[in-house]
Chain A
Amino acid sequence: MNIIVYIIKRILYAIPVFFGVSFLIFIMFNIVAGDPTIMLLGKYATAKQMADLRHYLGLDKAWYLQYFDILKSAFTFNFGHSWATKQLISEMIKSGAKVSLTLSLPSFIISSIISLIISMISAFYRGKWIDKFLVLICVIMMSISALSYILFGQWILAYKFGLFPIEGYEYGFPFFIPYIILPCIIWIILSTGSDIRFYRTIILDELYQDYVRTARAKGLSETMIFCKHILKNAMIPIITNLIIQIPFLILGFLLIENFFGIPGLGSIILDAINNSDFPVIKAITILTASVYIVFNAITDILYVILDPRINLK
């Protein structure tokens, strides 16, 4: 019963957050960003042209109606047209997200598996040389700029040794694979460092709980305690952490996509920045934020269902 009340409360809590996010977007793009008509029409636009365009873009409406448009777009996916390419934004996002996912999904899965395995090894041998060595490698990997990885990877592996195509992309299943291998490798290198450290900390947090001491007192072997008791409990925060990353996968990785010429959502964002294409950035922001809010609620609810230790007062 308690859990059901919690779930309903948690879902209701997403509503004010959603209003907050849409209001923040409204302030950023409709108020602070200023009037886009001069930018769109150039300096020599007549007053009539500007008024027409303003009307066409819905900028002459009262502020609460403009805000309402943003709210509505999160549900109808009707974001209007891009200022730069004149395409329908929802179509652009759909095709971009598909491309981004072909890169981000395999990277995410592989890097999560690698991080999990290495963090377990590191936590199991905590304090020993192998743990210290792994942690050091992680810190070193985390300290190099993403841009440097991309540049060196592209230059040495793709250009000098010709192991991968330097850039480009082809649509459709097996064809894109050669183009995503190097970007995937770079993505994995970029994310494993911090993930391993994070998971290792979570596992180590469990090590000092009372139930571990009890298990030891019962005379269970260290391996048994680690695999059966600690991992089982540590998996809950790890899994929720993995789920919460999923919404951001559709965004792809801006820098990697740009460097390797992959036409995903990251590249679309970058083009939108260069062209001052507000509606596109706005649409992507609304979309990812909404998905994030939903996933955030799901992980919170999962957490409570999975972990019987959490008591709901």
Chain B
Amino acid sequence: MRNLELKIFHNNKILVLATLILSIFFVVAILSYSGIIASNWYQQVGGSYDSPNIKNIFGTDIFGRSVLAKLIKGTETAISIGFVVSSIAIIIGLSLGLISGYFGGIIDEFIVWLYTTIASIPNIILLIAFTFILEKGIMSVYIALAMTRWVEICRLIRAEVIKQKSKDYIQASIAIGASHFRRIFYHILPNVIHIAIIQFSLVFQVSIKSEVILSYLGLGEQNQPSWGLMINDAKVEIIRGVWWQLVFATIAMFLIVLSFNIVSDALRDFLDPKLRNK
């Protein structure tokens, strides 16, 4: 594992930078979650719509709240959405993909039917329908995003499991009497897990981007600041020349999504055996 870490960072300054940015975001999110920083984001610290100044370096919003504190609280929201959604999506996608690819037959046909069905409904409508029907709030955002995101993971894992299943090492493990459990978890899983890792980082950033759109539709987070709500506020602010909420929320989102893009590209190049020797 140590070797892997060293190799992946070798000669790739952009990747080091991206990882650093991501770590900073994660630390900020954890500190904010534990209430150490930005816990009093709702307090008035200046006038309404103060432009960035020495006291509030990112300015204030309509209620005189610090944009910096809202940005930090928004980081917490974004990271928790990314983390929860990609974890749920990976767990569902990975387990269904393994089961479906490994056992085949009627189970496989059912799972393929299930994800083809979900994939047939436009993503945005499915998201809207889920959040609409469930109660508005962060929980339904988690569920809605996870329910739409596991499909792609399951499809990729299933295809790879089918490929691995016919390889010699699985034949050999059958010959020495390995159980299904052992074959799936000790032999196949390590050979398909790279897909799950790459998808985790992809789903993470897609979820953060989707949160903005859901917030805009009024279906997202209600009780806590999020970047989506901040960008959404800008809709009425921008005409009055109040650009700071929009600009800083956009930059924050840009940095985290860009870093995730760079990291998932590097992971793909590094972990996908097909690309390794090219």
Q: Cβ of A255 and Cβ of B261 under 8 Å apart?
A: no
Majority SS at the chain B contact face: helix
Instruction: Report the count of interface residues on B (CB-CB < 8 A).
Output: 41
Minimal beta-carbon separation of A15 from chain B (angstroms): 11
Flag whether A142 is at the interface (Cβ < 8 A).
Answer: yes
Is A147 a contact of B120 with CB atoms below 8 Å?
Answer: no
The answer to whether the Cβ of B246 comes within 8 Å of any Cβ in the partner chain is: yes
Contact of B246 among A28, A151, A269 (CB under 8 A): A151
Please determine whether B133 and A208 come into contact, CB atoms closer than 8 angstroms: no
The answer to whether A162 has its CB under 8 Å from any CB of chain B is: no
Most-contacted residue by chain A among B118, B125, B218, B239 (CB, 10 A): B125
Closest to B238 in A: A155
A310 at the interface (CB under 8 A from B): no
From A20, A208, A269, A273, contact of B117 by CB (8 A): A20
Find out whether the CB atom of B120 lies under 8 angstroms from the CB atom of A293: yes
* Structural contact, A21 and B250, CB atoms closer than 8 A: no
Give B228-258 interface residues, CB cut-off 8 Å to A: 228, 231-232, 234-235, 238-239, 246, 250, 253-254, 257-258
Interface pair A148/B132, CB less than 8 Å apart: no
Query: Do A296 and B120 contact each other (CB < 8 Å), given the known contacts A269-B128, A281-B125, A284-B125?
Result: yes
Could you tell me if A139 and B128 are in contact, using CB atoms closer than 8 angstroms? Answer: no
State which residues 241-278 of A face B: CB under 8 Å: 248, 251, 254-255, 259, 269-270, 273-274, 276
For A30-61 the 0/1 string (1 means CB < 8 A from B) is 00110000000000000000000000000000
As a 0/1 sequence over residues 13 to 36 of chain A, the CB contacts with chain B under 8 angstroms (1 = contact) are 000110011001100110011000
CB contact list, B202-226 vs A, under 8 A: 205, 209, 212-213, 216-219
- With a cutoff of 8 Å between Cβ atoms, the chain B residues found around residue A155 in the complex are 238-239
- Asked whether A288 lies within 8 Å of B250 as measured between CB atoms, the reply is no
Could you tell me the dominant secondary structure of chain A's interface residues?
Answer: helix
- B253 close to A151 (CB less than 8 A): no
| Known A17-B113, A147-B232: A285·B258 in contact at CB below 8 Å | no
Contact assessment for A147 and B257 in the assembled complex, using a CB-CB cutoff below 8 Å: no
Q: What is the CB-to-nearest-CB distance from B146 to chain A, in angstroms, rounded to a whole number?
A: 16
Whether B22 is near chain A, meaning CB under 8 Å from some CB there, is no
A144 to B209 alpha-carbon distance, docked (Å): 9
Of A32, A145, A269, the residue contacting B125 (CB under 8 A) is A269
B129 at interface by CB-CB < 8 Å: yes
| B121 touching A255, Cβ below 8 Å | no
What residues on B are CB-neighbors of A274 within 8 Å?
Answer: 218
A288 touches B117 (CB 8 A): no
Question: Do B133 and A292 touch across chains, with their CB atoms under 8 A apart?
Answer: no
A152 / chain B contacts, CB cutoff of 8 Å? 246
Q: Does A143 contact B (CB under 8 A)?
A: yes
Task: Check if B257 sits within 8 Å of A20, measured CB to CB.
Answer: no
Partner of B129, one of A28, A147, A270, A296: A28
User: In the complex, A144→B217 CA distance in Å?
Assistant: 18
Please give, as numbers and ranges, the residues of chain A lying within 8 Å of B125 by CB-CB distance: 251, 269, 281, 284-285, 288
When distances are taken between beta carbons in the complex, the residues of chain B under 8 Å from A148 are 231, 246, 250, 253
The answer to whether the Cβ of A289 comes within 8 Å of any Cβ in the partner chain is yes
B177 at interface by CB-CB < 8 Å: no
Q: Is A68 an interface residue (CB 8 A)?
A: no
Among the listed B116, B121, B253, B261, which residue makes an inter-chain contact with A288, where contact means beta carbons less than 8 Å apart? B121
**CB-based contact A273/B258 at 8 Å:** no
The residue of chain B having its C-beta at the shortest distance from the C-beta of A296 within the complex is B120
A217 proximal to B (CB < 8 A): no
Supplied contacts A143-B258, A281-B129, A292-B122, 6 more A-B pairs, CB within 8 Å: A28-B130, A33-B132, A139-B258, A140-B258, A143-B205, A146-B213
Q: Which A-B residue pairs are the 7 nearest by beta carbons?
A: A20-B117, A143-B258, A143-B257, A148-B250, A139-B261, A289-B120, A155-B238
A-B contact pairs, 18 of them (CB 8 A): A17-B116, A24-B121, A33-B132, A139-B265, A140-B258, A142-B257, A142-B261, A143-B257, A144-B253, A144-B254, A145-B227, A145-B253, A148-B253, A259-B235, A276-B132, A281-B129, A284-B125, A285-B129
